[in-house]
Structure 1
Amino acid sequence: MKVYFIGAGPGDPELLTIKGYKILNSAECVIYPGSLLNKKIIEGIRKDLYDSSKMKLEQIIEVIEKYIKNKQTVVRLVSGDASLYSAIQEQIEILKEKSIPYEIIPGISSAFAASAKMGIELTIPEVSQTVIFTRIEGKTGGTSSQDIKKLASVRATMVFFLSSGLVEEVEKLLLEVMSPQTPIAIVNKVTWDEEKIIHGTLIDLSELMKKNNIKKTSLIFVGESLKAINQQLKKRSKLYDREFNWK
Protein backbone atom coordinates (compact mmCIF):
# COMPACT_ATOMS: atom_id res chain seq x y z
CA MET A 1 0.00 0.00 0.00
CA LYS A 2 1.85 2.99 -1.30
CA VAL A 3 1.79 5.82 -3.82
CA TYR A 4 4.43 5.49 -6.53
CA PHE A 5 5.46 8.56 -8.48
CA ILE A 6 6.86 7.05 -11.67
CA GLY A 7 8.78 8.92 -14.34
CA ALA A 8 7.27 7.63 -17.58
CA GLY A 9 10.18 8.81 -19.71
CA PRO A 10 10.08 11.03 -22.80
CA GLY A 11 7.44 9.11 -24.77
CA ASP A 12 8.83 5.88 -26.17
CA PRO A 13 7.19 3.08 -24.09
CA GLU A 14 10.44 1.11 -24.21
CA LEU A 15 12.19 3.90 -22.30
CA LEU A 16 10.04 3.29 -19.23
CA THR A 17 12.26 1.59 -16.63
CA ILE A 18 11.72 -2.09 -15.86
CA LYS A 19 10.92 -1.22 -12.24
CA GLY A 20 8.42 1.42 -13.30
CA TYR A 21 6.80 -1.00 -15.77
CA LYS A 22 6.35 -3.71 -13.16
CA ILE A 23 4.77 -1.37 -10.61
CA LEU A 24 2.57 0.26 -13.25
CA ASN A 25 1.13 -3.09 -14.25
CA SER A 26 0.51 -4.26 -10.70
CA ALA A 27 -1.17 -1.13 -9.33
CA GLU A 28 -4.93 -0.89 -8.77
CA CYS A 29 -5.05 2.80 -9.69
CA VAL A 30 -3.08 4.80 -12.28
CA ILE A 31 -3.24 8.58 -12.46
CA TYR A 32 -1.60 9.82 -15.66
CA PRO A 33 -1.00 13.21 -17.37
CA GLY A 34 -3.26 12.87 -20.38
CA SER A 35 -2.02 15.97 -22.16
CA LEU A 36 1.65 14.93 -21.96
CA LEU A 37 1.81 11.15 -21.91
CA ASN A 38 2.18 8.92 -24.95
CA LYS A 39 -0.95 6.78 -24.63
CA LYS A 40 1.01 3.72 -25.79
CA ILE A 41 2.49 3.60 -22.29
CA ILE A 42 -0.87 2.80 -20.71
CA GLU A 43 -2.28 0.67 -23.53
CA GLY A 44 -3.51 -2.65 -22.23
CA ILE A 45 -3.73 -1.56 -18.60
CA ARG A 46 -6.99 -2.86 -17.22
CA LYS A 47 -6.80 -1.05 -13.87
CA ASP A 48 -8.61 2.14 -12.89
CA LEU A 49 -7.27 5.06 -14.94
CA TYR A 50 -7.58 8.75 -14.13
CA ASP A 51 -6.49 11.58 -16.44
CA SER A 52 -4.88 14.25 -14.22
CA SER A 53 -5.07 16.87 -17.00
CA LYS A 54 -8.79 17.09 -16.19
CA MET A 55 -8.32 17.18 -12.40
CA LYS A 56 -7.40 19.69 -9.71
CA LEU A 57 -4.87 18.91 -6.98
CA GLU A 58 -7.61 18.26 -4.43
CA GLN A 59 -9.31 15.76 -6.76
CA ILE A 60 -6.04 13.90 -7.29
CA ILE A 61 -5.56 13.60 -3.54
CA GLU A 62 -9.14 12.38 -3.09
CA VAL A 63 -8.54 9.58 -5.58
CA ILE A 64 -5.27 8.62 -3.91
CA GLU A 65 -6.90 8.52 -0.46
CA LYS A 66 -9.74 6.33 -1.70
CA TYR A 67 -7.40 3.61 -2.92
CA ILE A 68 -4.93 3.88 -0.05
CA LYS A 69 -7.78 3.45 2.47
CA ASN A 70 -8.60 0.19 0.69
CA LYS A 71 -4.95 -0.85 1.00
CA GLN A 72 -4.39 -0.63 -2.75
CA THR A 73 -1.40 0.62 -4.72
CA VAL A 74 -1.57 3.93 -6.58
CA VAL A 75 0.69 4.96 -9.46
CA ARG A 76 1.07 8.65 -10.23
CA LEU A 77 2.68 8.76 -13.67
CA VAL A 78 4.58 11.88 -14.71
CA SER A 79 6.25 12.59 -18.05
CA GLY A 80 10.03 12.42 -18.26
CA ASP A 81 11.67 12.25 -14.86
CA ALA A 82 9.80 13.13 -11.69
CA SER A 83 12.54 15.46 -10.44
CA LEU A 84 12.04 18.03 -13.23
CA TYR A 85 8.91 20.17 -13.68
CA SER A 86 6.57 17.38 -12.61
CA ALA A 87 4.62 19.31 -9.92
CA ILE A 88 4.84 16.35 -7.57
CA GLN A 89 6.24 18.26 -4.59
CA GLU A 90 2.86 19.80 -3.73
CA GLN A 91 1.34 16.31 -3.81
CA ILE A 92 4.12 14.86 -1.68
CA GLU A 93 3.64 17.51 1.00
CA ILE A 94 -0.04 16.62 1.33
CA LEU A 95 0.78 12.90 1.45
CA LYS A 96 3.22 13.58 4.28
CA GLU A 97 0.56 15.52 6.18
CA LYS A 98 -1.80 12.57 5.80
CA SER A 99 0.93 10.00 6.64
CA ILE A 100 0.48 8.29 3.26
CA PRO A 101 3.65 6.44 2.23
CA TYR A 102 5.15 7.16 -1.17
CA GLU A 103 8.16 6.35 -3.33
CA ILE A 104 9.65 8.03 -6.38
CA ILE A 105 10.77 5.87 -9.31
CA PRO A 106 13.04 7.89 -11.64
CA GLY A 107 12.51 8.08 -15.37
CA ILE A 108 14.48 9.26 -18.38
CA SER A 109 14.20 13.02 -18.81
CA SER A 110 13.29 14.33 -22.25
CA ALA A 111 16.46 16.44 -22.02
CA PHE A 112 18.64 13.34 -21.87
CA ALA A 113 16.60 11.54 -24.52
CA ALA A 114 17.07 14.58 -26.79
CA SER A 115 20.82 14.61 -26.17
CA ALA A 116 20.96 10.91 -27.06
CA LYS A 117 18.95 11.48 -30.23
CA MET A 118 21.30 14.29 -31.27
CA GLY A 119 24.23 11.97 -30.64
CA ILE A 120 26.23 14.28 -28.37
CA GLU A 121 27.47 14.79 -24.83
CA LEU A 122 26.24 17.95 -23.12
CA THR A 123 29.39 18.32 -21.00
CA ILE A 124 32.50 18.57 -23.16
CA PRO A 125 35.99 19.43 -21.81
CA GLU A 126 36.96 23.07 -22.50
CA VAL A 127 33.57 23.71 -24.10
CA SER A 128 30.91 23.26 -21.43
CA GLN A 129 31.09 21.60 -18.03
CA THR A 130 27.71 22.86 -16.82
CA VAL A 131 24.16 22.10 -17.90
CA ILE A 132 21.35 24.48 -16.90
CA PHE A 133 17.73 23.33 -16.89
CA THR A 134 15.36 26.27 -16.73
CA ARG A 135 12.13 27.81 -18.02
CA ILE A 136 11.26 31.40 -18.80
CA GLU A 137 8.68 33.15 -16.67
CA GLY A 138 5.12 32.89 -17.95
CA LYS A 139 1.58 32.64 -16.59
CA THR A 140 2.43 29.55 -14.53
CA GLY A 141 5.75 30.78 -13.17
CA GLY A 142 9.35 30.40 -14.23
CA THR A 143 12.69 32.20 -14.17
CA SER A 144 12.70 35.98 -14.43
CA SER A 145 14.13 37.77 -17.46
CA GLN A 146 16.98 39.17 -15.40
CA ASP A 147 17.93 35.76 -14.05
CA ILE A 148 17.74 34.20 -17.53
CA LYS A 149 20.38 36.69 -18.67
CA LYS A 150 22.57 35.87 -15.65
CA LEU A 151 22.33 32.16 -16.42
CA ALA A 152 23.12 32.78 -20.08
CA SER A 153 26.34 34.55 -19.12
CA VAL A 154 27.71 31.26 -17.74
CA ARG A 155 29.62 29.07 -20.19
CA ALA A 156 27.02 26.32 -20.10
CA THR A 157 24.61 24.26 -22.14
CA MET A 158 21.12 25.66 -21.51
CA VAL A 159 17.97 23.59 -21.83
CA PHE A 160 14.66 25.43 -21.75
CA PHE A 161 11.59 23.50 -20.66
CA LEU A 162 8.01 24.79 -21.00
CA SER A 163 9.13 27.84 -22.97
CA SER A 164 8.02 27.19 -26.54
CA GLY A 165 5.16 29.68 -26.33
CA LEU A 166 7.56 32.42 -25.25
CA VAL A 167 10.34 31.67 -27.72
CA GLU A 168 10.59 35.25 -28.99
CA GLU A 169 11.25 36.48 -25.46
CA VAL A 170 13.82 33.70 -24.93
CA GLU A 171 15.62 34.69 -28.13
CA LYS A 172 15.58 38.39 -27.26
CA LEU A 173 17.01 37.85 -23.77
CA LEU A 174 19.73 35.45 -24.87
CA LEU A 175 20.87 37.71 -27.69
CA GLU A 176 21.66 40.39 -25.11
CA VAL A 177 24.43 38.23 -23.65
CA MET A 178 25.22 35.53 -26.23
CA SER A 179 26.53 35.52 -29.80
CA PRO A 180 23.83 35.42 -32.51
CA GLN A 181 25.71 32.43 -33.96
CA THR A 182 25.41 30.35 -30.79
CA PRO A 183 24.17 26.88 -31.83
CA ILE A 184 20.60 25.95 -30.88
CA ALA A 185 18.40 22.89 -31.25
CA ILE A 186 14.63 22.64 -31.03
CA VAL A 187 13.52 19.15 -30.02
CA ASN A 188 9.81 18.48 -30.37
CA LYS A 189 8.16 15.35 -28.94
CA VAL A 190 11.43 13.47 -28.62
CA THR A 191 11.10 9.66 -29.09
CA TRP A 192 7.47 9.99 -30.25
CA ASP A 193 6.52 8.89 -33.78
CA GLU A 194 6.15 12.57 -34.80
CA GLU A 195 9.50 13.66 -33.33
CA LYS A 196 11.18 16.71 -34.85
CA ILE A 197 14.74 17.93 -34.24
CA ILE A 198 15.69 21.26 -35.82
CA HIS A 199 19.19 22.75 -35.69
CA GLY A 200 20.21 26.35 -36.22
CA THR A 201 21.66 29.41 -34.54
CA LEU A 202 20.29 31.69 -31.85
CA ILE A 203 19.48 34.55 -34.23
CA ASP A 204 17.03 32.26 -36.08
CA LEU A 205 15.46 30.55 -33.05
CA SER A 206 11.96 32.05 -33.11
CA GLU A 207 11.81 31.98 -36.91
CA LEU A 208 12.65 28.27 -36.94
CA MET A 209 9.87 27.60 -34.45
CA LYS A 210 7.35 29.44 -36.62
CA LYS A 211 8.57 27.87 -39.86
CA ASN A 212 8.16 24.37 -38.42
CA ASN A 213 4.84 25.19 -36.72
CA ILE A 214 6.13 24.21 -33.27
CA LYS A 215 4.17 25.77 -30.44
CA LYS A 216 4.50 23.38 -27.48
CA THR A 217 5.92 20.07 -26.20
CA SER A 218 9.44 21.14 -27.11
CA LEU A 219 12.82 21.63 -25.54
CA ILE A 220 15.15 24.42 -26.61
CA PHE A 221 18.89 23.67 -26.36
CA VAL A 222 21.38 26.53 -26.51
CA GLY A 223 25.16 26.30 -26.23
CA GLU A 224 28.53 25.64 -27.81
CA SER A 225 28.37 21.92 -26.98
CA LEU A 226 25.86 21.58 -29.84
CA LYS A 227 28.71 22.17 -32.29
CA ALA A 228 29.66 18.55 -31.65
CA ILE A 229 26.68 17.48 -33.76
CA ASN A 230 28.47 18.49 -36.97
CA GLN A 231 32.09 19.08 -35.94
CA GLN A 232 35.01 17.17 -34.49
CA LEU A 233 35.81 19.32 -31.44
CA LYS A 234 38.85 17.20 -30.52
CA LYS A 235 38.59 17.92 -26.79
CA ARG A 236 39.93 15.07 -24.68
CA SER A 237 39.11 14.37 -21.06
CA LYS A 238 41.95 13.86 -18.59
CA LEU A 239 40.34 10.59 -17.51
CA TYR A 240 41.58 8.70 -20.58
CA ASP A 241 44.68 10.79 -21.34
CA ARG A 242 47.77 8.59 -21.06
CA GLU A 243 49.97 11.70 -20.72
CA PHE A 244 48.11 13.01 -17.69
CA ASN A 245 49.92 12.74 -14.36
CA TRP A 246 47.45 11.70 -11.65
CA LYS A 247 49.99 12.06 -8.83
Structure 2
Amino acid sequence: MVHFVGAGSGAVDLITVRGKNLLEQADVIIYAGSLVNPQLLDNAKKECEIHNSAYMTLEEVIEVMKDAWERNLDVVRLHTGEPSIYGAVREQMDMLDKLEIEYDSTPGVSACFGAASSLDIEYTLPDVSQSLIITRMAGRTAVPEKESIESFAAHRASMAIYLSTGMLEELSERLINGGYDRDTPAALVYKATWDDEKKFVGTISTLADIAKKNNITKTAIVLVGDAIAHNDYEKSRLYAADFETEFRKRI
Protein backbone atom coordinates (compact mmCIF):
# COMPACT_ATOMS: atom_id res chain seq x y z
CA MET A 1 0.00 0.00 0.00
CA VAL A 2 1.09 3.54 -0.74
CA HIS A 3 -0.01 6.14 1.81
CA PHE A 4 -0.07 9.79 0.74
CA VAL A 5 0.43 11.74 3.96
CA GLY A 6 0.26 15.47 4.65
CA ALA A 7 3.24 16.49 6.78
CA GLY A 8 1.56 19.68 7.96
CA SER A 9 2.71 23.26 7.63
CA GLY A 10 6.08 22.87 9.33
CA ALA A 11 6.01 22.19 13.07
CA VAL A 12 6.65 18.49 13.67
CA ASP A 13 3.75 18.14 16.09
CA LEU A 14 1.23 19.37 13.52
CA ILE A 15 1.21 16.09 11.62
CA THR A 16 -1.95 14.09 12.33
CA VAL A 17 -1.89 11.12 14.68
CA ARG A 18 -2.73 8.89 11.71
CA GLY A 19 0.11 10.38 9.69
CA LYS A 20 2.61 9.86 12.51
CA ASN A 21 1.47 6.26 12.95
CA LEU A 22 1.92 5.58 9.24
CA LEU A 23 5.43 7.06 9.35
CA GLU A 24 6.34 4.79 12.26
CA GLN A 25 5.07 1.72 10.39
CA ALA A 26 6.45 2.53 6.95
CA ASP A 27 9.00 0.32 5.22
CA VAL A 28 9.72 3.03 2.63
CA ILE A 29 9.36 6.81 2.95
CA ILE A 30 9.52 9.20 0.00
CA TYR A 31 9.51 12.73 1.35
CA ALA A 32 9.50 16.16 -0.26
CA GLY A 33 12.89 17.20 1.06
CA SER A 34 12.71 20.80 -0.13
CA LEU A 35 9.74 21.60 2.12
CA VAL A 36 9.01 18.84 4.64
CA ASN A 37 10.50 19.24 8.12
CA PRO A 38 13.25 16.57 8.24
CA GLN A 39 12.65 16.04 11.96
CA LEU A 40 9.55 14.08 10.98
CA LEU A 41 11.87 11.35 9.71
CA ASP A 42 12.86 10.69 13.32
CA ASN A 43 9.60 8.72 13.48
CA ALA A 44 10.86 6.19 10.92
CA LYS A 45 12.05 2.79 12.03
CA LYS A 46 15.78 2.09 11.66
CA GLU A 47 15.43 -0.28 8.73
CA CYS A 48 13.16 2.07 6.75
CA GLU A 49 14.29 3.07 3.25
CA ILE A 50 14.18 6.85 2.88
CA HIS A 51 14.15 8.73 -0.43
CA ASN A 52 14.26 12.50 -0.95
CA SER A 53 11.98 13.34 -3.87
CA ALA A 54 13.61 16.76 -4.29
CA TYR A 55 16.24 14.93 -6.34
CA MET A 56 13.83 12.60 -8.14
CA THR A 57 11.63 12.74 -11.22
CA LEU A 58 8.00 11.61 -11.18
CA GLU A 59 8.99 8.40 -12.94
CA GLU A 60 11.69 7.69 -10.34
CA VAL A 61 9.20 8.22 -7.51
CA ILE A 62 6.76 5.78 -9.11
CA GLU A 63 9.50 3.24 -9.68
CA VAL A 64 10.32 3.24 -5.94
CA MET A 65 6.63 2.73 -5.17
CA LYS A 66 6.36 -0.08 -7.73
CA ASP A 67 9.44 -1.82 -6.36
CA ALA A 68 8.08 -1.59 -2.80
CA TRP A 69 4.68 -2.91 -3.91
CA GLU A 70 6.32 -5.92 -5.53
CA ARG A 71 8.15 -6.59 -2.26
CA ASN A 72 4.93 -6.21 -0.25
CA LEU A 73 6.26 -3.16 1.59
CA ASP A 74 4.29 -0.19 2.92
CA VAL A 75 5.20 3.21 1.45
CA VAL A 76 4.57 6.66 2.88
CA ARG A 77 4.67 9.46 0.32
CA LEU A 78 5.19 12.42 2.64
CA HIS A 79 4.07 15.73 1.15
CA THR A 80 4.29 19.19 2.64
CA GLY A 81 1.16 20.75 4.13
CA GLU A 82 -2.07 19.29 2.79
CA PRO A 83 -1.36 17.18 -0.32
CA SER A 84 -4.59 18.14 -2.09
CA ILE A 85 -3.40 21.77 -2.36
CA TYR A 86 -0.51 22.19 -4.84
CA GLY A 87 0.71 18.72 -3.91
CA ALA A 88 0.96 17.21 -7.42
CA VAL A 89 -0.55 14.02 -6.03
CA ARG A 90 -3.17 13.29 -8.69
CA GLU A 91 -0.56 12.54 -11.34
CA GLN A 92 1.05 10.02 -9.00
CA MET A 93 -2.28 8.41 -8.21
CA ASP A 94 -3.17 8.10 -11.90
CA MET A 95 0.10 6.30 -12.58
CA LEU A 96 -0.49 4.00 -9.61
CA ASP A 97 -3.98 3.25 -10.96
CA LYS A 98 -2.43 2.10 -14.24
CA LEU A 99 -0.07 -0.15 -12.31
CA GLU A 100 -2.97 -1.42 -10.14
CA ILE A 101 -1.16 -0.34 -6.98
CA GLU A 102 -3.39 0.49 -4.03
CA TYR A 103 -3.11 3.82 -2.18
CA ASP A 104 -4.91 6.02 0.32
CA SER A 105 -4.64 9.59 1.61
CA THR A 106 -4.15 11.22 5.01
CA PRO A 107 -4.81 14.97 5.20
CA GLY A 108 -2.49 17.56 6.68
CA VAL A 109 -2.48 21.15 7.92
CA SER A 110 -1.96 23.48 4.96
CA ALA A 111 0.18 26.64 5.18
CA CYS A 112 -2.83 28.95 5.08
CA PHE A 113 -4.14 27.38 8.28
CA GLY A 114 -0.72 27.29 9.90
CA ALA A 115 -0.35 30.99 9.08
CA ALA A 116 -3.81 31.76 10.47
CA SER A 117 -2.87 30.09 13.74
CA SER A 118 0.38 32.05 13.92
CA LEU A 119 -1.51 35.32 13.48
CA ASP A 120 -4.53 34.26 15.57
CA ILE A 121 -6.93 35.24 12.81
CA GLU A 122 -10.25 33.92 11.55
CA TYR A 123 -10.83 34.11 7.81
CA THR A 124 -14.62 33.96 8.02
CA LEU A 125 -15.75 36.85 10.20
CA PRO A 126 -19.49 37.64 9.99
CA ASP A 127 -20.26 40.76 7.96
CA VAL A 128 -16.62 40.88 6.75
CA SER A 129 -16.01 37.71 4.75
CA GLN A 130 -17.60 34.29 4.70
CA SER A 131 -15.28 32.87 2.07
CA LEU A 132 -11.62 31.92 1.78
CA ILE A 133 -10.08 31.92 -1.69
CA ILE A 134 -6.95 29.79 -2.06
CA THR A 135 -4.98 30.61 -5.19
CA ARG A 136 -1.56 31.43 -6.65
CA MET A 137 0.08 33.61 -9.27
CA ALA A 138 1.05 32.09 -12.58
CA GLY A 139 4.71 31.14 -12.71
CA ARG A 140 6.38 28.09 -14.22
CA THR A 141 2.97 26.46 -13.80
CA ALA A 142 0.16 28.32 -15.55
CA VAL A 143 -3.09 29.44 -13.92
CA PRO A 144 -6.35 29.26 -15.93
CA GLU A 145 -7.30 32.69 -17.28
CA LYS A 146 -10.72 32.50 -15.63
CA GLU A 147 -8.94 32.21 -12.25
CA SER A 148 -7.05 35.49 -12.49
CA ILE A 149 -6.04 37.40 -9.37
CA GLU A 150 -8.23 40.28 -10.54
CA SER A 151 -11.34 38.09 -10.82
CA PHE A 152 -10.89 36.79 -7.28
CA ALA A 153 -10.03 40.22 -5.88
CA ALA A 154 -13.38 41.51 -7.11
CA HIS A 155 -15.04 39.52 -4.30
CA ARG A 156 -12.95 41.27 -1.61
CA ALA A 157 -13.13 38.03 0.38
CA SER A 158 -10.33 36.58 2.50
CA MET A 159 -7.59 35.25 0.26
CA ALA A 160 -4.56 33.01 0.79
CA ILE A 161 -2.03 33.25 -2.03
CA TYR A 162 0.61 30.55 -2.37
CA LEU A 163 3.82 30.37 -4.42
CA SER A 164 3.90 34.07 -5.25
CA THR A 165 6.48 35.65 -2.93
CA GLY A 166 8.85 36.50 -5.78
CA MET A 167 6.15 38.48 -7.60
CA LEU A 168 4.76 40.71 -4.84
CA GLU A 169 4.85 43.99 -6.74
CA GLU A 170 2.81 42.51 -9.57
CA LEU A 171 0.55 40.71 -7.11
CA SER A 172 -0.24 43.90 -5.20
CA GLU A 173 -0.97 45.79 -8.41
CA ARG A 174 -3.32 43.10 -9.65
CA LEU A 175 -5.12 42.82 -6.31
CA ILE A 176 -5.75 46.57 -6.33
CA ASN A 177 -6.80 46.58 -9.98
CA GLY A 178 -9.23 43.76 -9.19
CA GLY A 179 -11.05 45.56 -6.43
CA TYR A 180 -9.19 45.63 -3.11
CA ASP A 181 -8.28 49.01 -1.64
CA ARG A 182 -4.56 49.77 -1.37
CA ASP A 183 -4.90 49.87 2.41
CA THR A 184 -6.61 46.48 2.68
CA PRO A 185 -4.88 44.49 5.46
CA ALA A 186 -2.37 41.91 4.21
CA ALA A 187 0.09 39.57 5.87
CA LEU A 188 3.26 37.83 4.79
CA VAL A 189 4.12 34.69 6.74
CA TYR A 190 7.47 33.03 6.07
CA LYS A 191 7.70 29.32 6.94
CA ALA A 192 4.48 29.27 8.96
CA THR A 193 4.75 27.22 12.19
CA TRP A 194 8.46 26.41 11.66
CA ASP A 195 10.95 27.35 14.38
CA ASP A 196 12.32 30.13 12.15
CA GLU A 197 8.91 31.50 11.20
CA LYS A 198 8.61 35.21 10.43
CA LYS A 199 5.29 37.01 10.21
CA PHE A 200 4.44 40.54 9.17
CA VAL A 201 1.14 42.43 8.90
CA GLY A 202 0.81 45.43 6.64
CA THR A 203 -1.34 46.36 3.68
CA ILE A 204 -1.56 45.23 0.08
CA SER A 205 0.50 48.26 -0.97
CA THR A 206 3.34 47.46 1.49
CA LEU A 207 3.77 43.74 0.81
CA ALA A 208 6.73 44.10 -1.58
CA ASP A 209 8.54 46.50 0.77
CA ILE A 210 8.03 44.15 3.72
CA ALA A 211 9.51 41.25 1.77
CA LYS A 212 12.46 43.29 0.52
CA LYS A 213 13.24 44.74 3.95
CA ASN A 214 13.23 41.29 5.55
CA ASN A 215 14.91 39.44 2.66
CA ILE A 216 11.97 37.12 2.06
CA THR A 217 12.03 35.69 -1.44
CA LYS A 218 10.35 32.29 -1.12
CA THR A 219 8.60 29.83 1.24
CA ALA A 220 6.04 32.41 2.34
CA ILE A 221 2.30 32.75 2.03
CA VAL A 222 0.38 35.97 1.42
CA LEU A 223 -2.90 36.57 3.24
CA VAL A 224 -5.24 39.35 2.15
CA GLY A 225 -8.52 40.72 3.43
CA ASP A 226 -10.23 42.80 6.08
CA ALA A 227 -10.54 39.73 8.32
CA ILE A 228 -6.81 40.02 9.05
CA ALA A 229 -7.41 43.25 10.98
CA HIS A 230 -10.54 41.75 12.67
CA ASN A 231 -12.22 45.14 13.07
CA ASP A 232 -15.91 46.01 12.68
CA TYR A 233 -17.26 42.47 12.46
CA GLU A 234 -20.53 41.08 13.78
CA LYS A 235 -20.49 38.41 16.47
CA SER A 236 -21.60 34.96 15.41
CA ARG A 237 -25.33 34.41 15.72
CA LEU A 238 -24.67 30.82 16.76
CA TYR A 239 -23.82 31.83 20.33
CA ALA A 240 -26.29 34.71 20.69
CA ALA A 241 -28.67 34.40 23.65
CA ASP A 242 -31.72 34.80 21.39
CA PHE A 243 -30.52 32.20 18.85
CA GLU A 244 -32.18 28.83 19.38
CA THR A 245 -30.52 25.58 18.33
CA GLU A 246 -31.19 21.88 18.73
CA PHE A 247 -29.00 21.94 21.85
CA ARG A 248 -29.83 25.33 23.37
CA LYS A 249 -33.18 27.02 23.85
CA ARG A 250 -33.67 30.74 23.37
CA ILE A 251 -33.20 32.81 26.54
What is the TM-score of this pair, normalised by structure 2? 0.93
Structure 1 residues 36-88: Cα deviation after superposition (integer angstroms, max 9, x where no partner): 11111113633111010111100000000000001100000000011111000
Q: CA deviation at 1:245?
A: 6.6
Q: Matched residue of 2:122: which SS?
A: coil
User: How far off its partner does 1:146 sit?
Assistant: 7.0
Q: Is the 8 A contact 2:150 2:175 kept in 1?
A: yes
CA distance in 2, matches of 1:44, 1:236: 42
1:66 paired to 2:78: no
* Amino acid aligned to 2:192: V
Question: Following superposition of structure 1 onto structure 2, how do residues 161-240 of structure 1 map, counting pairs within 5 Å?
Answer: 161-176=162-177, 177-228=179-230, 231=231, 233-240=232-239
Instruction: Give secondary structure in 1 for the equivalent of 2:148.
Output: helix
What amino acid is the match of 2:13?
A: E
- Aligned partners of 1:142 and 1:49: how far apart in 2? 33
Partner residue, 2:121: 120
Q: Secondary structure at the match of 1:113?
A: helix
Shift, 1:243, TM fit: 2.7
Conserved? CA contact 1:34–1:51, under 8 Å:
yes
In the alignment, the residues of structure 2 paired with residue 25 and residue 88 of structure 1 have an alpha-carbon distance, to the nearest angstrom, of 22
Question: Matched residues in 2 for 1:244 and 1:14: separation?
Answer: 37
Quick check: 1:137–1:145 contact (8 Å CA) kept in 2?
no
Q: For 2:134, give the aligned amino acid.
A: F
Match of 1:40 in 2: 39
- Number of aligned residues: 243
Per-residue deviation, 1:234: 4.8
Distance 1:213 1:144, change over 3 A: farther
Task: State TM-score, norm by structure 1.
Answer: 0.94
Q: Is the 8 A contact 2:125 2:233 kept in 1?
A: no
CA RMSD of superposed structures (Å): 1.6
Secondary structure of the 1:181 match is coil
